[in-house]
Amino acid sequence: MRLVRVQVPEFRALKDVDITFEPDFYPQVFPVGSLNGGGKSTLLQLIFVLLHCSAHKERHPFVANMLDRVTISESQTSSILAKFELLEGGKKIELEFTLCNDGYLRELDIDPIFNREMVSFGIFRRQDWLLESLEKSDEELEEEFYRLLSHELNDPESKITMEEMESDFENAMKEREYFQPLIKNIKKSLIAKNQFCITSFYSKQELGLICNFSGSKKDIKEILTSISKRIFLSAPSTQIYLFLSKNEKQQLFKSKADPKNSYLYQYSIEQSKNSLRNFLTYDVFATDTLVSLIETARNQDFKTLVDTGTNGITYPKIIEELNALTRDKTVFPLLDDKANIIGVVFKTPEGTDIYPEDLSHGELKRLSLYVWLKLIIPQDENIVLMDEIENGFHLDWQYTIVRDLIEWGKTNQYILATHSYELCTALTPAHVKEIELKPIAK
């Protein structure tokens, strides 16, 4: 998978962004620069959220958070948010994410039996259950209801009565009876235009995010699911993540005198990772994964010894690679009494033991990136978005990180938001992309 082109007409600090990442360039590493406030981080987060979250309902709240402040002018019914051109297996996929208001839906070819005033993104947003129930028959829903009812009745803490539940269910079924054909009708009209409603949300007005697609005969959900698995984002944990809720973002700006405030923001980031599987903050170092890597290499070499009578080379190779990641330290596995590997320790040239948590910021970051790219991310054609990768690296490492990234994930495409001139010199000027500053409104 390659991201070939991204266009963002206007979103927050971004204005008329149109960047091409040439698929025939070598290496597939593209620094993206701009002055402070130019929107580099916003662009990476927008790309990640749209491509990683669209196919998965449980990630849609992140999309809504990201689009928190968007509006469409009254004279319009839709506005293009972002356009992507991707390559998958040599085939071009074009996706256009458009923000639409109710007026857009009302212009669709909807059966006149429906009241136009009822045609609104609100019905998508208000009735998640309605959407889910589209796939089910009345009998299945009744069965589900009675199961739930029995569960509630057996719960001594339940405050809802059986009559209330039956009444709610009856109302929901009536609503469904009316809205189900309407929603089906809207979806059919969208599909006829090669469009798919990703989600709907409220941002000063009822809005929906619609995806137009072309270039593939596959089902749009299948395409978006496939893309979502291949797009990754890594960034510093102190970054403002626009895909978090307003309350969560505000924690970052509250007084640090109360340690709870900074903890809450970090907690929100960690919580988001439960849903955003392809999201990494640089501070995370997976010791367990490293232990598992060393153990696997040791076992593999032992098997080679049993099979061939000669020692394997996997273990020394892994140790050599790990040694190269720190400035001057040597990696040793920590063993228990039965020679199980239970951790890792780094020895300084003076012989002092250093534990992973004691490494320098830059060393820890290199290790965490190594573990993430080489061991956690599947070795595939992924699109890896990295924000401020140079932070914590001295100038030499800012240059060599480009080579490291290629080495650790050879088949990936990397898009790096950066201020580092040194990093760019590891590539050709044509690799470097720029986001122009949005003109200041008078």
Is there a cis peptide before residue 27, judged by omega within 30 degrees of 0? yes
Q: How far is the CB of 432 from another protein (least distance, A)?
A: 4
317 binds another protein (CB under 8 A): no
Interface region with another protein, contact rule CB under 8 A, candidates 32-40, 179-187, 197-205, 289-297: 32-40
Cα separation, 116 vs 364, in Å, equals 58
User: What are the residues whose beta carbons fall under 8 Å from the beta carbon of 54, sequence distance 6 or more?
Assistant: 63, 97, 198, 199, 209, 211, 224, 228
Cα separation, 322 vs 363, in Å, equals 11
Q: How far is the CB of 435 from another protein (least distance, A)?
A: 9
What percent helix, strand, coil does the chain show, rounded to 5?
A: 45, 20, 35
18 binds another protein (CB under 8 A): no
Q: How far is the CB of 231 from another protein (least distance, A)?
A: 23
User: What are the residues whose beta carbons fall under 8 Å from the beta carbon of 417, sequence distance 6 or more?
Assistant: 31, 32, 33, 40, 41, 43, 44, 385, 386, 387, 388, 389
Interface region with another protein, contact rule CB under 8 A, candidates 168-176, 212-220, 313-321, 428-436: 428-436
Size of interface with another protein, in residues (CB under 8 A): 29
Q: Contact at 8 Å (CB) between 41 and 51?
A: no
Among 22, 58, 164, 219, binds another protein (CB under 8 A): 22
433 binds another protein (CB under 8 A): yes
What six digits make up the tokens of 411? 């088949």
26 binds another protein (CB under 8 A): yes
Among 31, 208, 356, 409, binds another protein (CB under 8 A): 31
Strand (E) or helix (H) holding 342? strand 341-347
Cα separation, 277 vs 248, in Å, equals 19
Residue (172 or 427) nearer to another protein, CB: 427
268 binds another protein (CB under 8 A): no
Length of the chain: 442
Return the sign of the alpha-carbon dihedral for residues 236, 242, 246, 250: positive
30 binds another protein (CB under 8 A): no
Q: Contact at 8 Å (CB) between 313 and 301?
A: yes
362 binds another protein (CB under 8 A): no
Helix, strand, or coil here: 113?
coil
Among 34, 45, 281, 368, binds another protein (CB under 8 A): 34
What six digits make up the tokens of 108? 């669709």
Helix, strand, or coil here: 274?
helix
Residue (163 or 350) nearer to another protein, CB: 350
Site string for another protein, 383-422 (x = CB under 8 A): ------------xx--xx--x--------------xxxx-
Interface region with another protein, contact rule CB under 8 A, candidates 21-29, 122-130, 174-182, 336-344: 21-29
Angle, alpha carbons 433-28-288 (nearest 5°):
115
Among 238, 261, 266, 425, binds another protein (CB under 8 A): 425
Among 1, 3, 33, 183, binds another protein (CB under 8 A): 33
Q: How far is the CB of 31 from another protein (least distance, A)?
A: 6
Q: How far is the CB of 36 from another protein (least distance, A)?
A: 11
Helix, strand, or coil here: 284?
coil
349 binds another protein (CB under 8 A): no
Positions that interact with another protein (CB under 8 A)? 22, 24-26, 31, 33-35, 324, 327, 395-396, 399-400, 403, 418-421, 424-430, 432-434
